[in-house]
Amino acid sequence: VFINGLDNKTEENIMTAGEYDFLKEIIYREYGIIIKGDKRLTMHTKLSHRLDILGMKSYGEYCDFVRSQPSKEELLNLISHITNNETFFLREKGQLGAFSEILKDIKRKRQRNNQNTLRIVSAGCSTGEELYNLNIILMESGLFAWGWDVSLTGIDVDRNAVRKAEAATYSRNSLRLLNGDEKFIKKYFLAGNEKYKLKQPYKNNVKFVHGNIFGPEGLGGISDVDVIFCRNVLIYMDDGSIDRVAVNLHASLADEGYLFLGASESLIQKTELFVPEYRDGIVVYRKNGKAGF
């Protein structure tokens, strides 16, 4: 099936059902992301640029290329074109308020156990806004300023997003919920050429890694995590994939560690691994240390 030069693009003349199923299934098997129904046009919109780069004229050719790579290298490019990276500062403000409150509890617990670590993870961090926002809140709290070993880690399956997260340079779109709060912008960003670069102190202790939270490597061996934000990632998964991700998140969390999901995601009555807790109307999940493997 040839895709270039067609004025009247329909599902059938862009990609065969077999090619579409192959791509859909590999994305599901490797990353847990489910694409429902016939979304050939959407998939084409997302992948056509990749085919242009490779100089390929058909999805048949592209599928053969994906199949032919035992190292799965092309899968990383494929997934990077498929995922939705939408994110911005101050997303779901109520949860950020709950996070700020929880920090006090974590400090007390760590001190009680004579520990001085604080570990925060953004799983499905996209371009980093979420994790940097958490670091700003953490630093503003002043709770872990002296003598604490603090680390914040962002993990994403999209290598391009991880690179952008490391650069920490944003457009106004990422700051849209600030509603032009110039005081906030001036405090945390260096502005120039319509770009906003996060100031260095808010990047300290923050790192980003490329990883697949659905895979057997889970969160890449990171453990004893106090808080995981995994927001707006599970919406793209079915119950089977969510179960696998839940096991990985559970394995990386400290006992009674906290998990935040997106507003439209829920683990209630889906797993024994987490217990929901309600804080001012916000659902926060606690690791159930008695459940698991």
Ligand X SMILES: C[S@@+](CC[C@H](N)C(=O)[O-])C[C@H]1O[C@@H](n2cnc3c(N)ncnc32)[C@H](O)[C@@H]1O
* Interaction site with ligand X (CB under 6 A): 31-33, 83-87, 91, 124, 126, 130, 155-158, 161, 212-214, 231-233, 262
Give the shortest CB-136-to-ligand X separation in angstroms: 15
Of the candidates 284, 290, 254, the one whose C-alpha atom is nearest the C-alpha of residue 272 is 290
Give me the residues paired with residue 91 across strands. none
Smallest gap from residue 60 Cβ to ligand X (A):
26
Nearer to ligand X, 20 or 89 (CB): 89
Spatial contact of 231 and 124, defined as CB atoms under 8 Å apart: yes
Q: How far is the CB of 55 from ligand X (least distance, A)?
A: 26
Of the pair 231, 287, the CB lying nearest ligand X is at 231
- DSSP states along 54-115: HT---HHHHHHHHHT-TT-HHHHHHHHHHS-----TTTTHHHHHHHHHHHHHHHHHHHHTT-
How many CA atoms are closer than 13 Å to the CA of 142, on its beta-carbon side?
Answer: 0
Report the nearest approach of ligand X to the CB of residue 127 (Å): 7
Considering the complex, state which of residue 87 and residue 153 has its C-beta at the smaller distance from ligand X: 87
Query: Strand 206-210 relative to strand 195-198: parallel, antiparallel, unpaired?
Result: unpaired
Taking the least distance from each CB to ligand X, the nearer of 97 and 262 is 262
CB of 88 to ligand X, least distance (A): 7
List all residues 6 or more positions away from 17 whose beta carbon is below 8 Å from its beta carbon. Answer: none
CA quadruple 164, 168, 172, 175: dihedral, nearest 10: 110
**Residue whose C-beta lies closest to ligand X:** 124
Cβ proximity to ligand X, 87 vs 135, nearer residue: 87
